[in-house]
Structure 1
């Protein structure tokens, strides 16, 4: 079976780490590039984390480029140290990477990678703020027609997390998100309505802890500390692992139910800034290019992750 080519744009981050492990360990996925953006932590910290995760996941042949250190128009973001710690991966042990960051800006690497591959063969998987993706679309508008689809973790049609109706990745750079959502490439929004179903339960953590591999040991550390931080900060008994949901959809679209719906990003509302305004009142028009994820097959999802870790 032909592999699915993806570019992961991320801000590792515990759940970003799970997403990278899932992509690296699944035989259907070909990771062409990894790009980083400030989000869960500063650009310097998340880039270091991406390099180290890539080494663990045997992706050290993949180019990794740093991108935007701040939003397009707004002040520097407030990182999520309360969830991910001061390093972005507190409480975990990883090898130091012995290779360097690509000299290109993330947006340049995204553009050059897409333009070098056959049309409609590359899926963009942004799982952090959308600054790099917006920059890439403006740097070379031709990529919008060449991309197969954009499967992003962000937003929500009924709920937010940093604000009542705004999710962290979108709220951090709503202008960039506006650019991305208004382009006419196919978009699947894997938002909080879906990812809050992807809970790392005690049973899940026990199964992963029973796998004898370096990747499984690291993932156990990730889920343990993520659980502790989420409980302390958000009151969740079990943490939702947001980002791998987007990768899981690329691997197996049947892992979740989606629905076509028009989505716009609010950039100016006093109380709704960063909201992904989703019209679910009626069937979407025929030319609608956006879909939203609704329901997760939790068993199927966690099987993908455990199988990937075993493969690594």
Structure 2
């Protein structure tokens, strides 16, 4: 079976790190490169964090590219209150040995989409959609060459996590999200409605730690820091592990369920800025533009994640 070629676009973030680890541990996937975007923390940190994670995984061969340092039309909003000042608080940090690639992330993505066989590359955005929107706007010829976009972002029945109505990744750059959702590329959306069903309970984190390898122990340490915010916020045992749902869906879509819907992005209202307006009940008459995932077998998800990270 041919490997699925992916490019991960990310703003680590402990849950981003878990997604990167899952991808690098999965032989079904060929990670062509990882691109960094400003989001959870500024770009200087997200680019460093990606490289740290690849080195923790023993995969410093993966090239990492820095992209947009701010949203398309707004000031950057970050999430240090969740992820810590570094974005990867919870572990001993270090300076990665391999530098960032000199090429801009957007140029790298465009080049790969033009040179890899048409319809062979899946884009996996885990943060604000600034880099992806810039690709679509700057190089419209690549739109039809993208196999699929599978992203973490948004929410509908679950609401928001940065405002009452908006999820963080979409809220940071709603104009970029509007471009991506309107591009006509096959799109799968992993919103809060599904990510809030994969909780990093104490038992699951201890199973991960028991793997004993460097990546698993580092991730367990990161999760113990990361989950403290959501445990207090939601009153749960553990917090949602958002971003690895993107990679898990590529590996085992059968553990998830959802439906095709129309999704529009609110960019004009101060009250609901960044809201993902999901026509779940198909009342608007607008055409479907995304597979919206809303359920998951959480035990199967964690079985996959823990087993794969144990391979690193």
TM-score scaled by structure 1? 0.96
Tell me which moved more, 283-292 or 232-241.
283-292
Match of 1:135 in 2: 134
Q: Structure 1 CA distance, aligned partners of 2:32 and 2:283?
A: 35
- Structure 1 residue aligned with 2:74: 74
The secondary structure found in structure 1 opposite 2:32 is strand
Whole-angstrom CA distance in 2 between matches of 1:193 and 1:216:
26
Residue 12 of structure 1: aligned partner: 12
Alignment of 1:1-312 (within 5 A): 1-75=1-75, 77-158=76-157, 159-232=159-232, 235-282=235-282, 288-312=288-312
Contact 1:45–1:87 (8 Å) recurs in 2: yes
Report the CA distance shift for 1:283/1:23 in structure 2 as closer, same or farther (over 3 A): farther
Partners of 1:174 and 1:267 within 8 A in 2: yes
Q: CA deviation at 1:180?
A: 0.4
Aligned residues of 2:174 and 2:273 also touching (Cα < 8 A): yes
Cα-Cα RMSD: 1.6
The alpha carbon displacement at 1:183 in A equals: 0.3
CA distance in 2, matches of 1:59, 1:116: 23
SS for the counterpart of 1:142 is: helix
Q: Deviations over 1:95-114 (max 9, x none)?
A: 53211111111111111112
The alignment partner of 1:138 has SS state of: helix
Query: Contact 1:25/1:307 (CA < 8 Å) preserved in 2?
Result: no
CA distance in 2 between partners of 1:101 and 1:191 (Å): 30
Three-state SS of the structure 2 residue aligned to 1:104 is: coil
Contact 2:262 2:286 in 1 (8 A): no
Worse-superposed segment, 9-18 or 264-273:
264-273
Kindly indicate whether the alpha-carbon contact (under 8 Å) linking 1:18 and 1:219 is maintained by their aligned counterparts in 2.
yes
| Distance in 2 separating the partners of 1:267 and 1:283 | 21
State the alpha-carbon separation in 2 of the partners of residues 147 and 78 from structure 1. Answer: 29
Contact 2:90/2:223 (CA < 8 Å) preserved in 1?
no
Q: TM-score, normalised by structure 2?
A: 0.96
Query: How far did residue 287 of structure 1 move?
Result: 6.0
Which digits, 9 at most, give the CA deviation of each residue in 1:167-192, with x for residues without a partner? Answer: 00000000000000000000111000
Asked if the contact 1:83–1:233 (Cα under 8 Å) also holds between the matched residues in 2, the reply is no
Alpha-carbon offset, residue 271 of structure 1: 1.1
Q: Is the 8 A contact 1:121 1:148 kept in 2?
A: yes
The alignment covers a number of residue pairs equal to 311
Q: Deviations over 1:105-157 (max 9, x none)?
A: 11111111121111111110000000000001112112210111000000012
Q: Which consecutive aligned stretches of 4+ in structure 1 deviate over 3 angstroms post-superposition?
A: 232-237, 283-287
2-structure distance, mates of 1:17, 1:302: 15
The CA distance in 2 between the partners of 1:178 and 1:104, in whole Å, is 26
Following superposition, the deviation at residue 208 of structure 1 comes to 0.8
